[in-house]
């Protein structure tokens, strides 16, 4: 089977696609996706931030007297 034969079989099998336009307004969907992306969710916070928060919480549990120092630096 030569390449031309395979090309012909492929063109026959997959056929041409009709040129056209999107059938719905995609701009609204793009905006929705951008809005969803910019909303802060737990999954979007980097793991390092969570680790830092957990470290501070543990340190405060271990040394409650350090709370005023933490508040001072916030």
Partner 1 sequence: MPDDAIGVVDRVQQGGPATAAGVLDRFRQGDPDAFEIVFRAHQRAIYGWLLRMVRNPAAAEDLTVETFWRIYRAHARFDPGREFLPWARRAATRVALDWMRRQKPEVAIAAEIDADLPAADPALRAEIRARVARAFARLPARLRLATVLAIMEEQPHKEIAAALGISRGAVKLRVFRALRLLRNDLEKQGIRP
What residues line the site for partner 1 (CB under 8 A)?
A: 1-3, 5-7, 9-14, 16-17, 19-24, 26-27, 29-30, 33-34, 37
Helix (H) or strand (E) holding 28: helix 26-38
Residue 27 or 72: the one with the smaller Cβ distance to partner 1 is 27
User: Whole-number minimum distance, CB 45 to partner 1, in Å?
Assistant: 17
Q: What tokens does 71 get?
A: 């508040």
Residue 8 or 69: the one with the smaller Cβ distance to partner 1 is 8
Q: What is the dihedral of CA 46, 51, 57, 63, to 10 degrees?
A: -140
């Amino acid at each position: 089977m030569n390449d031309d034969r395979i090309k012909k079989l492929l063109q026959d099998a997959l056929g041409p696609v009709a040129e056209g336009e999107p059938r719905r307004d995609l701009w609204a969907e793009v905006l929705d996706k951008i809005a969803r992306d910019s909303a802060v969710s737990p999954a979007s916070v980097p793991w390092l931030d969570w680790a830092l928060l957990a470290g501070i919480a543990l340190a405060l549990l271990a040394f409650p007297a350090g709370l005023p120092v933490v508040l001072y630096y916030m």
